Structure 1
Amino acid sequence: MPLVNIDVIEGVFTAQQKQDMIRNVTDTMVAIEGENLRGVTWVKINEVKTGDWGIGGKMLSSGDVKAMAGR
């Protein structure tokens, strides 16, 4: 039973985008493992508070991520 964890910064993705992540990651795992494992493929989205994540020594906020994505 596979478990896929996705870490994102809180406030960046909409509920629909998170649903799309769950569906697409599940579909990818099923393509690898086979359809019989769809019902036991878990995808967990963990939201980290804005400012509690850093890259390259710099704190990242939800605004920074949205700017990188051009939103």
Structure 2
Amino acid sequence: MPLINVKVIEDVFSDEQKAEVIARLTDAMVAIEGEALRPVTWVVVQEVRSGEWGIGGKPLGTADVRALQGQPAPAVG
């Protein structure tokens, strides 16, 4: 019974994108282990609060990830 745990920074991926991640990761496991495991393949997408994820000793936030994706920061106010 495979369990795939995916952690992402909050407010970066839409619900539709997270659903696609779940579907594609399930398909990848089924391609490796066989169709019989599809019903028991678990994928958990956990959102980590902005700033509580660090890379290279520095916190990484939602705005940082959006900048990496080439997305503009949301308007404030």
TM-score by length of 2: 0.90
CA-CA distance at 1:21 after TM superposition = 0.1
Residue aligning to 1:57? 57
> Per chain length, whose mean CA-contact separation is higher, i.e. which structure has more relative contact order (CA < 8 Å, sep 6+)?
1
In 2, Cα distance between equivalents of 1:40 and 1:70: 36
In 2, Cα distance between equivalents of 1:3 and 1:57: 29
Consecutive unaligned residues of structure 1, counting only runs of 5 or more, are none
Q: Give the CA RMSD over aligned residues.
A: 0.5
| Fraction of identical pairs, as percent | 58
CA-CA distance at 1:16 after TM superposition = 0.2
Moved beyond 4 Å, runs of 4+: none
Consecutive unaligned residues of structure 2, counting only runs of 5 or more, are 72-77
SS, match of residue 51 in structure 1: coil
TM-score by length of 1: 0.98
CA-CA distance at 1:70 after TM superposition = 1.0
CA-CA distance at 1:50 after TM superposition = 0.3
